[in-house]
Amino acid sequence: MLISGILVFFLFLGPLVFFHELGHFLFARLCGVRVETFSIGFGPKLFKWKRGDTVYAFSAIPLGGYVKMFGDDPLSKDELSEEDKKVAYTHKSKWQRFWIVFGGPLANFVMAFVLYFFLAVDGEKVPEPKLGVIKADSKFHSLGLRTGDVLKRLNDKKIYNFDDVNIADSQISKILVGRGGEEVELETQISTENFQSNLLTSVTQLKAPIYVDANGDSFLIEKEGGVVVSIEELSNLKGGDTITIQKIESDVSKLGVWDPENTPLKLSSSKSATLDENADEVNEALRTLGYYPRELMVNKVTTDSAAKEAGIKAGDIIVGFDNAEVSSFIDFKNMVQDLKEPKEISLSVLNSKGLRTVELTPKETVYNEKKVLLVGIESGIIGFGKMIEFQADGIFSGLSIALKRTVDGTVNVVGMFKKLIFGEVSVNNLGGPIAIGKAANDYFDLGLSMFLRLMALISINLAVINLFPIPVLDGGHIVFILFELVNGGPLSRKKLLYAQQFGMSLLFLLIFVAVFNDIKRFLL
């Protein structure tokens, strides 16, 4: 498993590094600069060959790469002949040097665009945009939307998956949904921003009816010879009904979304049980039998969170909040937000060792310019719905979709780094090579399209990070070039040396934080 995981990581990282360095290489050659080395990886060269003036190499530390150009050291005191100046990087025009430097990030943007285009044209499996539980007092309910509706069209734009909800129109006047095998058109009047906000905060995910016990095992419910696979079927169960509880042998932790038709689960042992006649609803009846909705199981605990400090671990089941039972994860989140300000709460936590009480104080943070309280746990919820084939209508449609996804991805990445800089998001969210490797392996298990989607997103991340105005990064070099344009000449040797030392220190600090977070998150 370890070896295969490492191979997947390199399969993921290799193309990202290669295309970034290829961007620098191609623009350097285009501008007449002699490229001395093109290396994937750092450190000692494991394999190398020379073609023309360039040594191509695979080096020992495969966590990046570099392109070494002749005359690229602005601090060098070596005198160059007139012939050498023609192929030296530092003797090229400002705009030529700009394109050579910008070529790396540009290649990563282009790579993301090409991957998104390939996915759109070739087709990919995506979860259908099915709405989860819509409460009677919610904004969506007043618009006519109901639990289980599948979004088909907003105004005149087709909706294939939830990524498409980010439409250009400022107002939504028509919503077409699929409901009960028919299409229903709703006349509405809501701003796109308000619609998106309600989708994120008010509509809970449509959940697969999967349950867990204190040991962390997962189960399905069977009634009259058929497995219960929908909320509607689940709600039809009542007190006094005899059910069969089927243990799931398949690993459901990486399902994300369960499509019963296309993803059958392997079932093993089963046992019969009778639902409590006094229970108000099925989840309450199953709770008396020792089974809880899987969404109440902790999937992950955030580093440096209140939950982490209180000793809550992945696999724990949150069953109580102060003196109240917790019936769903959305109820738990609402209970936390209802506190209004940080104060100590008592959680009832269940696992294989039994039931225990945990005292903790949620931490206050800012999300979308609003103060929110966070406990720091991620739900083990598994979505429910069909995986549908999404394919662009043609080449031009594919180009449009790819451009939109690339631009949206860039805006989202820049927004996240902005929140990091201004303290709206903790630096504990930074991830290093272990985090990237884990994500790559998780998405690889979900299929090629999901793997390529993640590769496109990380390619955008790599482009944006390299454009940071930090000396030694591409963005820092671009700032120096812009300074030359404005100032009429380069920085002095002394100032340039200080800038490079500052840049290296800042870069090493960022790397240290990311790697430290990896160690805390995955190894401790």
Q: How far apart are CA 330 and CA 500, in angstroms?
A: 49
- Rounded to 5°, the CA angle 419-422-428 comes to 65
Residue 309 one-letter amino acid: E
pLDDT at 445 over 70: yes
Q: What is the arithmetic mean of pLDDT over 106-120?
A: 95
**pLDDT per residue over 6-53, tens digit each?**
899 889 999 999 999 999 999 999 999 999 999 998 889 889 999 999
Token pair, residue 310, equals 């209180």
Higher per-residue pLDDT: 118 or 425: 118
Q: How far apart are CA 266 and CA 259, in angstroms?
A: 14
Burial group, residue 277, by CB count within 10 angstroms (0-12, 13-18, 19+): exposed
Sequence-ordered alpha helix ranges (H) in 202-346? 231-235, 282-288, 306-309, 329-337
**pLDDT per residue over 490-523, tens digit each?**
777 777 777 778 878 887 888 888 888 778 766 6
Which residues face 461 on adjacent strands?
none
Domain 211-250+277-383: give its CATH architecture: Roll (2.30)
Q: How far apart are CA 403 and CA 452, in angstroms?
A: 16
High-pLDDT (> 70) share of the chain, %: 91
Q: Is 519 in a helix, a strand, or coil?
A: helix
Specify whether the CB–CB gap between 227 and 220 falls below 8 A.
yes
High-pLDDT (> 90) share of the chain, %: 26
Token pair, residue 148, equals 């289980």
**pLDDT per residue over 191-225, tens digit each?**
877 887 777 656 655 677 888 999 989 888 888 76
Specify whether the CB–CB gap between 20 and 108 falls below 8 A.
yes
Residue from 243, 154, 236 nearest 199 by CA? 154
**pLDDT per residue over 332-352, tens digit each?**
888 898 888 899 999 999 999
CA end-to-end span of the chain, whole Å?
A: 20
pLDDT at 294 over 80: yes
Token pair, residue 222, equals 């069977």
Listed in sequence order, the residues at least 6 apart from 486 whose beta carbon sits closer than 8 Å to its beta carbon are none
Which CATH code, of 3.40.640.10, 2.40.30.10, 1.20.1050.10, 2.30.42.10, is assigned to 139-201? 2.30.42.10
Half-sphere exposure of 99 (CA within 13 A, CB side): 12
Q: What is the arithmetic mean of pLDDT over 103-131?
A: 90
Residues of the chain with CATH 2.30.42.10: 139-201, 211-250+277-383
Question: In the block, which residue shows the tokens 């959305």?
Answer: 330
Q: Which residues are catalytic?
A: 21
Identify which of 83-92, 235-244, 375-384, 423-432 has the greatest average pLDDT: 83-92
- Mean predicted lDDT score pLDDT of the chain: 84
Which helix (H) or strand (E) element contains residue 440?
helix 433-446
